Structure 1
């Protein structure tokens, strides 16, 4: 039994970024784990943390993260995810990042979340022993994504089984965005053709209802945006149809590479 662990900073990043690959591996008989790092509910948020939900039309009485965890459950059911886990750590606005500018600046010196995340996730990684881990590149520079990159880079022994996905919709809005510099230096693109499963991915993305207006402009725009983006990704790598593109190291198991052919 082959296991793929999809690591998501927030409750939607895997769906938007590499949900097609999740669907394709699942169709090929893989078992799939979806693990999200920043999922904690914080009672009575204020200031910038509160604004992060009210700017999406959600009043202060709403438990924003509980709502998003339910969206994640809906996605997991839709995609037939085998293991769904939340690390229960607070998002950046609840860790002292108090503005949009700070969210996209380098991590604060006193943000020790990487060590905490490592302690939360290592037991799961040890238990599952996934053949493949899919983690973000931190395109766009959101500090939570950057800290997940640093988390994976700090864990010995996983480079040969890690693929780094292109954070979407950051990759849509910022085509020239560069991966976080902490990523290994020997990485090369590896594309997965997702043409057949793209409708399934789009439907799965629709589960994250609270985010669609903010991230895509509305539910109707999700499909056209992703279809155009993934067609462009495929063409950029000499493929027809639609593709999700990753970065892979030279030591990636050849058997894993064949799964992407």
Structure 2
């Protein structure tokens, strides 16, 4: 049996990912923007280059463009062929989002395609748990300008605030291949605090609620890698029936209110 390359794991899910995955709350994006602008202003300039690492289909890169406006250059670094192709189709010449002016290039977190000291922001959204993080942190320090920022951001479904989310996670744990809802319980703050050259810690958590239709909830579930072993085991028809029954038990047959918390970790390059 061949080993799946993690960088290509989402190739077959790119369409679902682009269609059903959420963006990020404005409060978290505003926090990133203010932090980056404060660091660059202290050195007499503005944001020049923003790098989105593990950019996927471009959801987080588009969020950066909306938050920062038209001036900074934005590069999305994505190793996955299917994800990058989907991002490029949305933003390429003649595409419906050409005005977003985002460039997507092949690359990895552990070997960023950027020169030393050129970036105002290196961000990983929904991606850092896949990385060789010590290598990524070293690369982030290398490419950041003095005063530039590294940002780790992730949307997590919040089972503590939502019985529906709690039961959904239990379903995945029961039927998945060793899946645990705690798979992203990584102390990113402590890791970043140990990185030489980074300081000015800013850690936050933003709770929010996403409202979506039942079909979109099922599409969101199918866009995840942890659901794929369940699909192989149970089949899509049974999974859809099980998820609709779950929604019915929680009174969400016409509208689903999905509790999230967005966790954000910011650090600044000191010198």
Q: TM-score over 0.5 for the alignment? A: no
TM-score range, shorter chain: 0.3 to 0.5
- TM-score for both structures, normalised by structure 2: 0.40
- TM-score for both structures, normalised by structure 1: 0.41
| Largest Rg, 1 or 2 | 2
